[in-house]
Amino acid sequence: MGKKFSGISQTMSRFRGWIQAGATLLTNLHLPNFLKGGLYQGAGKTVCVPGLNCYSCPAAFGACPIGAFQAVVGSSKFSFSYYITGFLILLGVLLGRFICGFLCPFGWFQELLHKIPTKKLSTKRLKPLTYLKYAVLLVMVFLLPAFLVNDVGMGDPFFCKYLCPQGVLEGAIPLSLANSGIRAALGKLFTWKFSILLSVIALSVLFYRPFCKWLCPLGAFYALFNRVSLFQMKVDKNKCISCGKCARACKMDVDVTKTPNHTECIRCGMCIRACPTKAVCFRYGFGDGKDKAKAAETLQTNNNNREE
């Protein structure tokens, strides 16, 4: 495994917090809109952002992929969105859950909450809950908006309406503070969604990224592509001393030495930083690099034999 890859991986994982902050800022470039109490209405919103970021956030630069998918399938014209599905497949293959670990504003928000110094709880025994997000993706994002429709063929965005806490955090709270009309219109649905947001906040302090692990449909979609993503985790078996430090450091409950491209791995790089022999690193490219590694090993063996 090249020293270059190892060095880049170390640097990326060390500065991850700054990359997350930068990604959140880029996703929400129109900051003055927070004071105006209005939304950005430019053509940029035709394009989706990679992370979970509500398009009703005053500063949002692009559209939320999950919200956009439901908007298309819930419209009277379409019952499936090729545009958003294609976009998500591309991102899933190009980056996988690296997006969750480095680019998602709501993931970063939960991580900041988890830094609050209190007792922390493990999610290892709650592993079955990780399957819940796939049900959320299938039922609330794909099926209900497409098939539970009104007389004119329009469906509700069920995930955005009943479950997503990001709309309240980024949309309802700042908009209601700046706009008295919106403040007056908030009712029972807001109370329900605000309760979800408060629950996610409380859980995020105790557990690491509870929403990403158990509920996020976007994370579920990217997770399906983690095994075939070009962005991969790589473990050098020759350097690994099986100390188990990487598995203990992983807050997503993944053992990178056994399943480097596990569906739950968000490429946060905690295993990279924990490894005493620098056996773990990021890899980007087609295939899994085993053939190149084998070729390099064979070349090295041949060279050694010649020298002898």
Site residues (CB under 8 A) for another protein?
39-43, 45-46, 48, 54-56, 60, 62-64, 67-68, 71-72, 75, 77-78, 81-90, 92-94, 156-157, 160-161, 164, 167-168, 171-172, 175, 182, 185-187, 189-194, 225, 227-228, 230, 286-291
In the bound complex, what is the minimum distance in angstroms from residue 92's beta carbon to another protein?
Answer: 8
* Shorter beta-carbon distance to another protein: residue 161 or 278: 161
Both tokens of 293, joined, read 């590694």
What is the rounded distance in angstroms from the CA atom of residue 195 to the CA atom of residue 102?
27
Q: Which is nearer to another protein, 99 or 172 (CB)?
A: 172
CB nearer to another protein: give 116 or 296: 296
3-class DSSP state of 272: helix
Beta bridge partners of 231: 284
CB 235 → another protein: shortest distance, Å? 16
Nearer to another protein, 36 or 120 (CB): 36
Give the integer Cα–Cα distance in Å for 213 and 122.
Answer: 12
Strand, helix or coil for residue 284: strand
Minimum CB–partner distance for residue 95 and another protein (Å): 12
What's the per-residue H, E or C state across 198-253?
HHHHHHHHHCCCHHHHHCCHHHHHHHHCCCCCCEEEEECCCCCCCCCHHHHHCCCC
Closer CB to another protein, 75 or 255, in the complex: 75
Provide, rounded to whole angstroms, the least separation between the CB of residue 71 and another protein.
Answer: 4
Asked whether the beta carbons of 232 and 265 are under 8 A apart, the reply is no
209 sits in the region (left: phi over 0; alpha: psi -120 to 50; else beta) called left
Tell me the longest C-alpha to C-alpha distance in the chain.
84
**Pair 8, 234: CB distance under 8 Å:** no
Amino acid identity for residue 294 in this structure: K
Q: How far is the CB of 187 from another protein (least distance, A)?
A: 7
Q: Measured from the CB atom, is 21 or 38 closer to another protein? A: 38
CB of 15 to another protein, least distance (A): 27
Give the 3-state secondary structure of residue 6. helix
Q: Which CB sits closer to another protein, 38 or 273?
A: 38
